[in-house]
Structures are given as structure tokens and as C-alpha cells.
Structure 1
């Protein structure tokens, strides 16, 4: 793609933004479009003769459909069709056709594929009408009868059914061990053994899942979808329905939050395409807030951690086991226990990981999948060990600081965790913390200070990027990347502007279209290192091309000059420290008789070099809580998050990412849990009235500090790492540890709700299912 796609309404920085460089705090270039309503989301695209689909959700957890009565719905005003498994368009028969690029092992769920029911809330029909209101009314008239089978949705009652997942999805590394952790644990003088429980959490982005399929007369479908990868969803639709990829374009220029829920295609996409194919018209399907609870979630998880140490605090053994639920169809996996083999120096480490199959939809990655729970358990256990040793919790972590990866002895690409400890502790005032619990009080509230370490992978994937310089001075850089609210538009434009020495307002980054150059799914905190590295590479190639064109100009000032002596600055190229030699880039193109020049770059990881290193981002989280024991109320009044994430490209959006993740960590620690009525296998609190999330009143002072770090192993071009996930990791543990410091009560299940403050933890099974 060599020019702008007008329909994407690609945002451009406001006039006067000027010169930028890495580390600046730059406001989002898409900010004005979002606050004025100019940014259109998937449910806002329009088309002539558009019809509307409303999903009918199933009401049992397991069984089969024995009948669907649709007569009343079909005769309702405005209804066009009712699509069920009995009359849907043809779909591929094989599981492989429905495997998207992030699918775990097993058989993907296929909407309306058969009469089988796999989970409560499963879509069983789609009512299509000339208006949304008519479709919604008619959906209530569809009557479904079932033959119900016995179901299972209770993790704590089925831990003995756990098994090792098979086969595992790409990118997942099974946990490994070293030494003899069991023997070392038994021999050590100081030990702690703890079990942890975490309830189901659901993604709840502001934008609900929606798909608008705009069908052209020739049958081509332009699909506006809420997704974290336009190309993944195009691939899925093409394969599932047996369509040429040239017949399908997927666009997602604006995404109102996703946090992992958009990694895989959700069922409204499939249903909207079914309706468009069957009715040969444009279709929109939007899920309700309640239906947002009817697909992937962060899985319910049980963990056991055993730590053993000498009296001086040196760890002798780490054992970490985890079990979480998956679906009957797929073995969903995530990295839960592996972090316990990376964070602290120890010769004896044993890690175990299993899943239990339930009658639920497959879980799906949710911000910092695995680490949000796995690091929580390790860090609460470390705090417990510190108290048993009578050692300051921060000092215990310093004593066991790992200079190399304990499991494989690989060096870290960079690791500035000690700098995070230093800067975070100093800013927070940790040195003034009394070690004894219940030693600080303010009026009716007990005050506690807690801390935890965070860790997350530093990933780099494969991407293609195109960079086009126009004769009028505009630079258009393109890749099929996604901006889920993280600031991708802005950061990529900054990287290009800095590389080319151009004002930011002259640079446009184009994303969110499956026809653009290939980009990975937006996830795993990898977009800056991957797509950003590609942007930098494409601009370097563009510089070389422009330099050669400049050398060919009549009476060129660049003849006989080496490119390393040339700088690109303020929209010109010139000899270093010689402004009188400046050539405007538009002049170079005009002299060459061309109106644009384009270069493309394939970004690939430095695999041979990277595999020699452990690559991760690190953090240290310090927090203050105030606890009213009479009411069971906990307030998180202060958080300092110190993060080592390589070179920071945009200080403003990076800090925003971390502070937003801290808010979610507070929500994870104190609020969020989806409760199941196991009699029906159904989530009960599937709305914002009863599924509690942190609100403005729950959030107080949050301060984000970035350590000085430059990682050229992870990102040769930029020295950067990702920040999307690291901000949430360790937050819930720091809060839990602060609550113990305030109250002397050790709570090991999340969320920590007022009833637990008053009455203690819920019962966690004491048997050893591992």
C-alpha cells in the first residue's frame, strides 16, 4: 500500500507539533478524533440497506438443542431472517479451518455449527431485522428447547482431575526445573508453604464487541471489526467460509480497548459474515454487555508455592504449582509458574502446571496472562518468608537478586531491576517503614506498606512496513498494526519522524487494514519493538534511497560525500554541522522527476543472538493501603511503580500504559471476580452493576518511574521493550502484602473483599492435587 486509505481517517499530529525525539512526552495524534467523535468504531460504520443482527444466547451449560421455534420471530415486524444451525450458510467442516493464529491446542468453538451446547451463554441463533430494535424484540420470541447433560464448572471441586495440557500453542514454553527442590525444601531451616485462589475475571473494555460487514455488489466484504488483528480475522473468515482472501478486507482503525479479548475472532464476527453471505447484504452485529461475559476470560486458578531459605535469607528451594480451568474443546495455556524460575537466584526450582476441562468457553489471554496470577502467588509467598525470617521484604529480594537466569544460566539482555528497587523505594519512602504489622494507624484506619517485584517477557515478532515520502513533504508509513488505545498511532509516527528528521505533523502512520503490509497480532507488549523496529528500518532504507537521488542531482552538494556524514533534520538532508548544504527532501524528489519514493522493510527478530539471552521487562511496585477493620474497607492511597523497559519512546503514553495497568491491578486485588452458579454453570454477575471494577473513587496517587535502560538485544533499532503488560504485574501482590502489614491478616485469594477482611479468607483446598 503506497498511499493513504481515506476510509481509515488516519489521524495526523496537529500543526506545530514540531521536532520529536525518543523520550518526549507527546500527546496522542488520535486524541482529537476520539474526543470529538470523529473516530469511528466497528459499530458506527454505515452502509445502504444495512440490517441488524441480535444474538440469541443459550441457557444451559451442556447438552444439545432439541428444537428451535422461530415462527413468532419471523412474523414480527421488520424481521428478515432467523439463522440457526439448521439453516446457516455452509462453513468448513474441519477444525483446522477455524483455528486462528493464536488458537491453543484442540478444537475451536464454531458458532452455529451443530446442535451441541458447550457452555452457558453460547450463541444458538441470530435474528436479523431492518432495525436493531426490531431484531432485539424478535430475539426474545425465539424459543429453544434442550436435552441437558450433567456439567462441571467448579475448579476447587475438580482439582484431582487436572492434567498436563496437550498440545500447547506456539510461543508457550512448558515449565522446567533444576536441582532437587523437594529434598532442599525438607532440609532447609526456614520454610513457607501457601495455597492461593483467584476467581474468574472478564475483560470489560468500553467498546463492546461488534462487526459491521459492508457487502459490495460483486460480493466483496469489507468488515469493520473489533479485533487486535485485522489480518488474523481476515485469515479466519477466509478459511472458515472457504473464501478467497481477495474477497475479504478487515479494518479496525479504532479499537475501544481489548486487553487480550480481541486476540481471537469472537463469535459476532462469524455470525455477521453468515448473515451477509446468506442475505447478500450489509449486516451489523453488536453484543450486549451481558454477552461480553459469554466468551474468553482470565481463568479461575489455584496455586501452591513452597519456599525454603537459610536464616540469612538465601533461597534454598522454590516450588510452584498451578492448576486452572480450560474448556472441553481446547487446552488453553498461559505462563503462570515459569516466572518463579526467573526472578530469584536459587539452585533448586520445581515448577508444575496443569489444567482441568470444564463446560465453559475457552479462556483467553487477559493483560499479563499468567503473570498477573503467577507472580502474585510468588510475591506474596516471598513477603511471608520475609516476615518469618524477620528480614525487610525489599532486602530479601536484594539478597536473592538473580544476575543470570537460574534455570538455564543465560544472562539477561538487560536487567535494571536493582535500579527499580532503588528509585521506587526512595520515591516511596520505604526506609521509614516499620517492619511489624499493625504498627501504623491514622484515625480509624490501619496503614500498611507493601511491595512486590514484576516481570514480563520482552517479545519481538515479524512485521513488514512501508514508508512513502511524497514530493509535498508528507511521509506516510504503513503496517497492518493495531492501536487498542495504547498509543500506536503516535509512537510509530514519532519513530518515523525522528528517523527522518521531520516534524511530527508531516508524518502519518497508517494501520488497521488487512491489505496493509503484514503485522503481528497486537499482544504481548510487542508492537513497539516489532512494528516500531520495522518503521525505523523502512526509514533507514528511505534515507539511503534519498541520499543516492541527491547525489545524482546536477551540481549536487552530496557528490563525493559518505552517507554517514549526512544528517536528516527539519525535513532536509545536509552535511553534519553545515546547514548551508541543506536540501529539502521535496527538492530531491522534484529534481529526480518523481512525485514519491517508497521503501519497504521486513522486521525479523535476531533469533540467533536473542536465544543466548533471557529477555524481560522488570518492575518494583510499592503501595500504601488504609484499612478500616470495622467495615472491611481497603483504600489503596499511594502506588509507586518503577519500571525497567528499555528506552522509552513516548514518555506520556508509556506512563499512561503503566498507570492504567496499576488501576487494573487495584481492581484485580480488591474488586474483580465473576461468580458462577454451579447448579446452572452460569456466570451470575454479568453486568457492570454487579461485576465490580475500580472506579475514580478507588484511585488515588499513582506515580510511574522509568529506569535508565537501553536494550539492543531485544530491539537493535530502538533499544526499547514493551510496557503494556508490566504495569499490572505485582500490583495485586503489593496490595495484599500491604494489607498484611496493616492488619496482620494474610489473605491468599483475590479479590480481597470486605468480607475477607472481616472474616478471613475463603477456604482453599489443603489437599495436594499435584
Structure 2
């Protein structure tokens, strides 16, 4: 039986629903102490007094760490960068008395119980000398600057050089569209909050249970920040209760837990509260200006898309916001710009579809508005300006692009052809009905990874790689790939991840895990298959003497001749002749740079949305939506659909609800809990449908997969905004679109 492409249920589901799955704060280790962080109450300034005496007087309190008594560390400021670090100087907890942002950790209280530590943390007395803070991007749009490229991450490229003369072409364009789009800040809110449990072992060996999207990244951070040999640290993270990018970089609770454990020479757990989740990382505030010029027939003649975003004072975080415009729309005159402004905030952090969901809202809204000015159907306008080449990547062809089919199949499933194009023309009862659509695009990336495959003495296949599963179905699809490659029943295959004793893998993010780790798993299983075949050829009376590897196939736990399936040898028989030892192969999967460098590689989507708007109350409900996706080979339609549906839900949240509200007088987020930070509940979500468009891509990676983590989100906010215009005749340029903006 073939498993790739089948809707296999999650292989890790039983452990999760029965509570057997353990998360970072659930590993109980001997002699465990508990740490609670004290957070700053000012945004900028310095600590002038820090009195810990009342906290230390509490029976059961072990220590209070501050900048005044913290142990010395390596503090690799220049040479060390974690795998997701932007250019600049990474934040260093408890380094000195300077306050760089609101909520910064200023002390760690360690006690025998969590309750004692939490109580004692309230007794730490901190006095500050505050200085004026500056956190408002809108006040500084005339002072933005180019980001420091540093060693630029290839997955966050700077905008390409301009083409032609966009300003002159816009001035001469018969039809023009110009608007400004404003995105506020948003925060990750995974169900599992951040925690690190550090087990202090013999000779100071550290076993760290961390909430992370990459155990290898946490290992690199700890060993370099504390100058510890790699063989003295193990990081484990088998399950992650959601992350969405918040776990890409090591967070400060990891540093504090390791620091305390090493100093006290005992195990320590540090857990952050929901409110403290607002003290690191967020989707940055961004302002975008879009200008489009077109001929009366709809041909784009000028594109200008510029973005201005906030970053911290100590790192130059950037996102890919404007480049998507050049990938989707050709124009001989185009200027794409990205600028940043340093503010008194913590460094922003990648948040699901970073930059893509922001930039596509602006360009896809602008394209919709221009189509209306031209009297064209927004779908027809996109087809008119369709491109098969990516001018932002030196005019390379796409490795595959089935976006036309996304438009066609999505529109057909949604019923787009029956739409009355006139705004305010559709009504249901006293509610206005609007239909909108938008295009989605995301990178189809692959990076190096390593995996190990073992056939055990009892004929079972065990595969390992130090990747993560943040709820995306990694356990399941890797099991499917391994079972298919070795032709084994899926019940005889186990995939394990999240442990630095396993072959290394990159952080899980950017929709690259299926292609990256999946290719490594396939390579390891292919290598194991060749080894097992060589062993089978050496068996007494082997049916494979004089036969090549291409002449056999692996089916139902056995090797058999393609032309004569009756001639077969079971894998159990092969391994049983290995003197009681398992057979193991390890392989590294590396992208094919020749193919990759000659093509632009992306997944594509089209989102179609219906909204229902109550004008009197300004309420908006997304009553139904269809997303058609072309993402190469779909490994598991069930888990892939779950990813797209999750992205669509987030798109609704992004467009209508999510907003981190800051009082700029104090530089403090005011709605730092789930009571006030609004996200959808079940009653907000209605009919969501997914169409997977068949797409064969032989260039992206050996599996032909592109990843679906982000592509389901990126088009939804613009489609919703466009549907609201169709319903009401009113363009709203700021997200989220809350009822006061609709009324």
C-alpha cells in the first residue's frame, strides 16, 4: 500500500488526547526548583535600586538573581547568532541596569515551589529612573531607514532594484490607484506558554526540556551563551503546544533557567505567564504605501509598493513585505522599498506568514480597488496581469505555477460567476452581503537536514531527526514518507523528533519542514534500502544474485523482483542474518542548487470570501470561504487541509479581530491577556472549504512538496477587506477592520 497522498490520521494523536504527550513544563525531574520572572514596569530608563531582602526572607526561597549578582557567562555578543536572529546585538537578560523595553526581565526568584516563587516575586522592590520612551511608528514615517543587511538571511531578501521609472509611468497612467495601509502589532498566543525545565545531572550535564521550534537552535544558544561543550547539554522537545514563530528564537526563560540551574547545581524550571508572553516578540507595526498605474484595458504600467516597519533599538528585524508584489505582477516600471524605524520595543519576531500576510493585504486590496476603477472583474484583472516569470529573481521562470487553476477551481467551487459586481447590490435580510477574492503566494524553500533510519532486529523501522512538530503533522507525514520508501506497513514504522541526540535539523518554520526533513527522511530510507538489498544479495540461495537495485521493489515489508514478485525476501529475514544487530543508515539532504538557482519556487493560492455586514452595528461575519491551493505534492490531504483551514481561521482573526493595543505614553501593551486580545471562537467560524490543485514540481525537492503552513493565511485578510467593500461600498485600509471602522 502507498501511504504518501493518503489522509492518514495523526500518528501522535493518541498520545495527545490521552495526556501522555509531555510538554516543556510537564517533565518532572528530581530536586526541582521553580523560577518566576520579575518584569520591568517602565519602558526606558535604568534601575536605581533593587531590594530583594523581603523575597529572600520568605521560607523556601532559594535565590533571587538580578543584574547585580548574576553568574558570569560567555555573553557572545558578536560571534553568536541564533538561527533566526536579525542583525544587531541579541537581548541579554539581567545584563545590566538598563531598561530597553516594557516587561523586560529584571529579576528571577527561585523557590522550592512555584507558588512560593510567585509570591516572593511580588516582594522584590525595584525603583527606576524612567526616561521618555518612543514606541509609535506613525510619528516617524519621515525618519525611516534602510535595514542593516548584516549576514542577510536568504529567506528574507531585500527588495530588488527598481525597474524603469515607476513615478513617471504612474503620472502618465490613464487610470491610477494610490492608498496607504496600516497594520498594528499582533502577538503570538499559542496554548502552551513558554517554559524551560533544566535537569542538572552528574558532572553538571544539562538535560533541557524547552518549548522551541528547534532543539538544535536552543542547543547552539545555550552552549555558546554559557560556553559549555556540546557534549554536556541535551535539549528535548517532543511536543509543542503551538508556536507560530514565537519559538523560532530561544526566549529569555531558557537563559534564566540554565543560569539558575548551573549556579545552584540543581534542577530548575522557569515558566512564563500569559502576560509575560507579551514581553518578547510580535508581528511589527507596518505602514505601506501602494501606487498602481494602468491602461484602460487593465495592463499594469506602474507599481510602487513601499513598507515601513518598526524594530527594536538593538536589532534590525526585517520581513519580506513588498517582494511578493513583484512575484505576482509584472510591470516594466516598478519600485519596491522596505524601511525600518528603531523604537523602544522588544525585537519583533516571525509570526505565521511573516511579511507575506502584511504585504499581500496591501497589494491585493489595491489591485481590487484598481479593478473597480477600470470596471473589470477583480479575477479578470489578475488574469490580465498574470506572469509566468519572477522579475524579482532575475526574471527566472517558476518551478511550477498552477495559480490559473487556483483561480478557476476556487471560483467554480465558490460560485464567483454569479456575483453581482455592483457594491451594496447583494443583501440577505437586513444584512449586506459582499464577495471578495485575493491571491496568495509563499516561498517553497528547502534547506539542509539530516535523518537516520534503522531496521530493528524485530523488523520494525525507526526513523529519527531533530526537527519539531508544532501541530503541523510532522510526526505523521514523516512516518508516511518512511513507510512508502521502505514499502513497510505504517504500523511498523515509528518516527521520532525533538532531541539533540538525533541527527540535526533546522528550526521548523517558513513552511519548509515537509520539503527539508521529508527529503532527509527519504534519503535515509533510500540509503537503508540499498544496504538491505546488498545484504539480501549475500543470503544463501538469494533470488537477487546478478540483479540490480532498480530491478527490485520494497513492498509489504519485503524485497521482491519487479518482474517476478514471487521471488522475494522479507526484511525481517535480512536483518535476522545480521548477527543480532539492527541496520542503520544516516543521510543528509541538500537542496539541488543548480535547479534552485535557475527557478523561482513558490506555492500559490486564491481565496474567495463571503461576508455578512450589519451596517447599524458594524459587525462583520465571514459566512463562507474557499481557498484553492497549489502546493506541489500533497503528502497527507487530512493534515494539509487542517493547516489551510487553520490559516484561514487566522486570516479571519487577522482581518477582523487581532490587535495588540499599546499606550504610547507608557510604551506598554494594554490588552496583554486572552480576555482583551481578541481571537476567533467557534461561533466566529462558519463554512470553510479547501481545494488542492494538482501540481507536479520536479525541481523544488525530491518529494515535489512545497509546504502549506503559511499559504492558507496570506490571501485571506485582503479577500475579507475586498468583500467588505463589495458589501458596503466603503474601503477600509487599516487592520483589523473592527465595527467602529465599518459603521
Q: Is the TM value for this pair above 0.5?
A: yes
Q: 1:622 aligns with which of 608, 618, 621?
A: 608
TM-fit CA distance, 1:98: 5.0
The aligned residue for residue 39 of structure 2 is 57
**CA–CA distance in 2 between the matches of 1:140 and 1:98?**
34
The aligned residue for residue 60 of structure 2 is 78
Give TM-score, length-normalised by structure 2.
Answer: 0.99
Q: 1:181 aligns with which of 142, 166, 190?
A: 166
For the 8 Å contact 1:499–1:540, the answer to whether it is kept is yes
TM-fit CA distance, 1:97: 5.4
The answer to whether residue 409 in structure 2 is matched with residue 427 in structure 1 is no
**CA–CA distance in 2 between the matches of 1:594 and 1:431?**
66
The aligned residue for residue 512 of structure 2 is 526
**CA–CA distance in 2 between the matches of 1:375 and 1:590?**
57
The answer to whether residue 489 in structure 2 is matched with residue 503 in structure 1 is yes
| 3-state SS, counterpart of residue 390 of structure 2 | coil
**CA–CA distance in 1 between the matches of 2:568 and 2:197?**
49
**CA–CA distance in 2 between the matches of 1:324 and 1:695?**
30
For the 8 Å contact 1:50–1:281, the answer to whether it is kept is yes
Task: Describe how 1:40-55 pairs up with structure 2 within 5 A.
Answer: 40-55=22-37
The aligned residue for residue 316 of structure 2 is 331
**CA–CA distance in 1 between the matches of 2:22 and 2:276?**
22
TM-fit CA distance, 1:592: 4.1
The aligned residue for residue 288 of structure 2 is 303
The aligned residue for residue 485 of structure 1 is 471
| 3-state SS, counterpart of residue 529 of structure 1 | helix
Structure 2: gaps (5+ residues):
none
Structure 1: gaps (5+ residues):
1-18, 759-770
| 3-state SS, counterpart of residue 292 of structure 2 | strand
TM-fit CA distance, 1:561: 1.5
**Residues 185-206 of structure 1, C-alpha deviation per residue, up to 9 Å, x if partnerless?**
1111001001000010000000
**CA–CA distance in 2 between the matches of 1:548 and 1:554?**
13
The aligned residue for residue 100 of structure 2 is 118
TM-fit CA distance, 1:594: 4.5
The aligned residue for residue 133 of structure 2 is 151
For the 8 Å contact 1:553–1:592, the answer to whether it is kept is no
| 3-state SS, counterpart of residue 157 of structure 1 | helix
Alignment: residue pair count: 739
The aligned residue for residue 340 of structure 1 is 325
**CA–CA distance in 1 between the matches of 2:636 and 2:547?**
34
The aligned residue for residue 170 of structure 1 is 153
Q: 1:136 to 1:532 in 2, by over 3 A?
A: same
**Residues 683-725 of structure 1, C-alpha deviation per residue, up to 9 Å, x if partnerless?**
000000100001111100111111101212111x211111001
Task: Describe how 1:228-239 pairs up with structure 2 within 5 A.
Answer: 228-239=213-224
**CA–CA distance in 2 between the matches of 1:139 and 1:588?**
61
| 3-state SS, counterpart of residue 490 of structure 1 | helix
For the 8 Å contact 2:459–2:575, the answer to whether it is kept is no
**CA–CA distance in 2 between the matches of 1:517 and 1:686?**
38
TM-fit CA distance, 1:563: 1.7
The runs of at least 4 aligned residues of structure 1 exceeding 3 Å deviation read: none
**CA–CA distance in 2 between the matches of 1:269 and 1:97?**
20
| 3-state SS, counterpart of residue 82 of structure 2 | coil
Task: Describe how 1:500-649 pairs up with structure 2 within 5 A.
Answer: 500-649=486-635
The aligned residue for residue 661 of structure 1 is 647
For the 8 Å contact 2:315–2:347, the answer to whether it is kept is yes
The answer to whether residue 377 in structure 2 is matched with residue 376 in structure 1 is no
Q: 2:48 aligns with which of 66, 78, 94?
A: 66
TM-fit CA distance, 1:510: 1.2
For the 8 Å contact 1:20–1:504, the answer to whether it is kept is no
The answer to whether residue 381 in structure 2 is matched with residue 396 in structure 1 is yes
**CA–CA distance in 1 between the matches of 2:81 and 2:523?**
32
For the 8 Å contact 1:299–1:325, the answer to whether it is kept is yes
TM-fit CA distance, 1:577: 5.0
Task: Describe how 1:183-262 pairs up with structure 2 within 5 A.
Answer: 183-262=168-247
TM-fit CA distance, 1:471: 2.4
Give TM-score, length-normalised by structure 1.
Answer: 0.95
**Residues 472-500 of structure 1, C-alpha deviation per residue, up to 9 Å, x if partnerless?**
11111111111111000000010000011
For the 8 Å contact 1:670–1:753, the answer to whether it is kept is yes
TM-fit CA distance, 1:183: 1.4
The aligned residue for residue 362 of structure 1 is 347
The aligned residue for residue 318 of structure 1 is 303
RMSD of aligned residue pairs (Cα, Å): 1.0
The answer to whether residue 702 in structure 2 is matched with residue 720 in structure 1 is no
For the 8 Å contact 2:77–2:90, the answer to whether it is kept is yes
Q: 1:682 aligns with which of 668, 692, 695?
A: 668
Q: 1:268 aligns with which of 243, 253, 262?
A: 253
TM-fit CA distance, 1:182: 1.1
**Residues 343-398 of structure 1, C-alpha deviation per residue, up to 9 Å, x if partnerless?**
01221110011000000000010001000100110000000001000000000000
